[in-house]
Structure 1
């Protein structure tokens, strides 16, 4: 793999954590699972994967900050850089034996995501990107789709589960977009949704109330593949607001207009 030292560290860490998760995935019925909230679970496998990532990333770059799903935030002695990590994006899929989940690792520099890795162990697909260097999947470069007709496009989103209050907004979104396109997919892993936009598999993606670790790596992947990325509400900060809209360049304005109503 050609990339910076940081990117190589990220890829190796994500793959090691992914191999650990894959081993547990084969024995998913025996996992120790605790309820973290309505429809939101955390497993022993999830925590172990985060420990692997923390060990590899913080040992390699001990001055960087740390932001991850399952552990406390750590401010770095280098205030300009931090790791943003989701050890298991798609936990509910994982716990149900559905082979669609990923390890997500991003590097933030001065408030901007400058590198990202999304590793899907089940399909042996490693998506990675660095600012200004394009986006890649395994050994090949990837690019956002070139579709220009809305009726031919498919999009991805998340659907609110128990305990969330944004169902009315999502239903309105779907009422506007479904009649205009070829379909909408809900696969339950935002990092992979954004990676799939980068790879041209989806033409766009939108979602509300995401956490930074859900989307950080995917944002740089999509941008480096030529997709456009904006906050759902203009003027917001994507990471802070948790809302994002993303699409290939030819379709972005039309797609955004439909979703934003």
Structure 2
């Protein structure tokens, strides 16, 4: 019997192969905004993933970054980012991935993120823990913010928006060991889940950016909230994640800034 986990893993790896094979032949690049590109590879990967899902589960709904939402059974929703880190990919910078989440009855129960550059496959099932290439992963045990390595990102409207995360970035730079800006929220979440980073915050993300990564992080023992520490909801456009041990300290830093994302009611 084919399971959502099997389909997610196989689809992610198939899309990753496309990314590797086309890395030196990206093809046409168009723009959804001034600095928000989409490549031929984004579209090829998305088609590959959706075709596999629809073949296995023809009645399931799909929400994908490039093609939007397809009609299907509302209790079965696949949330897909076929190429998270498109700018990196377009520039030949090897920090990008495939992200696939499966939600059943409004709860994410499967999360898969595949980094083809390093052949890292992150997998989580609700209540069953998280793995990287089949080995269990867990968040960092570091409890001191000053010694922590953090990661964040910036939205495509950074040139014009007031809520642009630059205030938080400046505040964290002086509060922790260092801050990275890698360019793939899905990988930022996975790397926090496996202890490479102690914490991650960002605003104005879409659900396909974090649906899989949030489950992977939670199953690895991490904590996920809004900037003010209140419970995170699927659909929120601000997210704070950590190993749990530095979470309150990160909230205190975020309170000094004003940039916020829109929240679900």
Q: Which deviates more from structure 2 when the two are superposed, residues 187-196 or residues 58-67? A: 58-67
Distance between the aligned counterparts of 1:230 and 1:14, measured in 2?
27
Cα shift readout 1:24-81 (whole Å, capped 9, x = no counterpart): 11324xx1111221110111111010000000012111121110011031131x2211
Tell me if the contact between 1:38 and 1:163 (Cα under 8 Å) persists in the aligned partners.
no
**Paired residue for 2:24?**
26
Aligned runs of 1:183-194 on 2, under 5 Å? Answer: 183-194=178-189
Tell me if the contact between 1:238 and 1:244 (Cα under 8 Å) persists in the aligned partners.
no
Moved over 6 A (4+): none
User: 1:160 and 1:83, CA in 2 relative to 1: closer, same or farther beyond 3 A?
Assistant: closer
Tell me if the contact between 1:21 and 1:45 (Cα under 8 Å) persists in the aligned partners.
yes
Paired residue for 2:4, among 3, 6, 11? 6
Aligned runs of 1:59-208 on 2, under 5 Å? Answer: 59-76=55-72, 78-161=73-156, 165-166=160-161, 169-208=164-203
**Paired residue for 1:41?**
37
Counterpart of 1:226 in 2: which secondary structure? coil
Tell me if the contact between 2:226 and 2:240 (Cα under 8 Å) persists in the aligned partners.
yes
Task: Count the aligned residue pairs.
Answer: 255
Counterpart of 1:50 in 2: which secondary structure? helix
- Structure 2 unaligned segments of length 5 or more: list them: 257-265
Counterpart of 2:79 in 1: which secondary structure? strand
Tell me if the contact between 1:160 and 1:166 (Cα under 8 Å) persists in the aligned partners.
no
User: 1:112 and 1:180, CA in 2 relative to 1: closer, same or farther beyond 3 A?
Assistant: same
TM score, norm. by length of structure 2: 0.91
RMSD, aligned CA: 1.7
Tell me if the contact between 1:159 and 1:167 (Cα under 8 Å) persists in the aligned partners.
no
Counterpart of 2:235 in 1: which secondary structure? helix
Counterpart of 1:85 in 2: which secondary structure? strand
User: 1:111 and 1:233, CA in 2 relative to 1: closer, same or farther beyond 3 A?
Assistant: farther
Counterpart of 1:42 in 2: which secondary structure? strand
Cα shift readout 1:174-205 (whole Å, capped 9, x = no counterpart): 23221111011000000000000111000010
Tell me if the contact between 2:229 and 2:251 (Cα under 8 Å) persists in the aligned partners.
no
**Paired residue for 1:54?**
50
TM score, norm. by length of structure 1: 0.92
**Paired residue for 1:17?**
15
Distance between the aligned counterparts of 2:161 and 2:227, measured in 1?
14
Q: Which deviates more from structure 2 when the two are superposed, residues 219-228 or residues 230-239? A: 230-239
